Amino acid sequence: MQDTNLFKQVFLKKLLVGLLQVDLSSKNMSFLERKRAIKLSSDVALAFARNGVNWSRAIIRNVSKQEKNKTLVRNILGEKIDRQTKPCHAYLTCKRAGSNRILRRSYTMRRIRKCAPKRSVASAIAKRMLKRRTQVLKCLIPGGESLDELSLLEETMDYIVCLRAQVDVMRHLANAYQCKPIYNQFPFASI
């Protein structure tokens, strides 16, 4: 990942642009709409700051699909919106029919019990648990549906680091909002 301070600076700049846009249009918004718009601008700013990885492109692509978000996304991204919203992979969905899973699981357990010795039963259970956890992780990481296991782990680590940086920046921003002199509060903001 790029330098953390540089990442935080880019994120903060784009977040402030998004928050300014939300503030300008918040006169006719309810509390929940304002909350959703702030979260949306934070997510888009985070994805813009960490450009080039799969999860960031997936966030921007998913957000820009909705018509009501297009103006906010366009204001945050500027002229780079066309490059950010191009699809690069065919994404699969994580939705499966619950009854099919239950039938498949019962059939698999019956087959394992009939033909496998005790040692391979444990191995089969471990493989099945690993596969299930991988599927859950693919659903949690934006754009993770189309990744293999190694790429999924790399994207997950990068996403976690970026989410921690997002929390750090937003915590500094909240503290700065409580104490009025805003420019002295950010150790990484030389904007």
| 78 Rama class: left (phi>0) / alpha (psi -120 to 50) / beta | left
Per-residue pLDDT tens digits for 154-170:
999 999 999 999 999 99
Per-residue pLDDT tens digits for 52-104:
889 989 988 888 888 878 878 888 887 665 555 555 444 444 444 456 666 56
Helix (H, G, I), strand (E, B) or coil at 63: helix
Q: How many CB atoms lie within 10 A of CB 114?
A: 7
- Cα(169)–Cα(10) distance, rounded to whole angstroms? 11
| pTM exceeds cut of 0.85 | no
For the chain, give every domain's residue range.
Answer: 4-89+160-178, 99-129
Please name the residue ranges forming H helices in the chain.
Answer: 4-25, 31-49, 54-64, 70-77, 81-84, 98-115, 118-140, 149-178
- Cα(65)–Cα(131) distance, rounded to whole angstroms? 30
